[in-house]
Amino acid sequence: MSKPDIDAHVGKRLRLRRTMMGLSQEAIAKAVGITFQQVQKYEKGSNAMNAVRLYEFAQFMQIPVAYFFDGLESSTPSIHETVGMAEEGVAFDHNYKKVSDRESLEMMKAFKRIGEQNVRKRLSDLVRAIADNHTVLD
């Protein structure tokens, strides 16, 4: 995976967490002492974040630094991983479509609007059952 791809992935994760928390770019910029324009550049992936900045965002948003990299290793295997998987007989599913961050965010917002705890629990169980059944069928 290239450096720009990693920067874009980290930026998407920053935007997802910020949006899930209901925060503006200006709010998180102020919290870590930068401009909201810099936050925009991070979220677009046009500017890379250094380790200190990642740590500051993670602390403010109450998440581990690893959050920014979640899903990165599974999104595109390196050439070494691809060769290794092919040698081990691992099948590639080229029809697989990754759920977008936007879809995840919309689902989370809708889920949070459900007021009854028992309804949320049953819905969560249903989604897990569908996902588990789907993986068994594939």
Question: Domain holding 17: CATH number?
Answer: 1.10.260.40
Evaluate whether residue 43 is within a structural domain: yes
| pLDDT band of 74, cuts 50, 70, 90 | low
Given 74, 109, 126, the domain boundary residue is 74
Evaluate whether residue 22 is within a structural domain: yes
For residue 26, give its domain range: 3-74
55 and 118 in a single domain? The answer is: no
| pLDDT band of 123, cuts 50, 70, 90 | confident
Evaluate whether residue 90 is within a structural domain: no
Distance between CA 5 and CA 1 in Å, rounded?
Answer: 6
Q: What's the number of domains the chain is made of?
A: 2
Q: Find out whether 36 and 26 touch, Cβ atoms under 8 Å.
A: yes
7 and 70 in a single domain? The answer is: yes
**35 Cβ neighbours under 8 A, 6+ residues apart:** 29
pLDDT given for residue 101 in this prediction: 65
Give the burial string for 100-110 (b: 16+ CB within 10 Å, else e): ebeeeeeeeee
50 and 11 in a single domain? The answer is: yes
Evaluate whether residue 111 is within a structural domain: yes
Question: What share of the chain has pLDDT > 90, as a percent?
Answer: 43
**75 Cβ neighbours under 8 A, 6+ residues apart:** 1, 9, 98
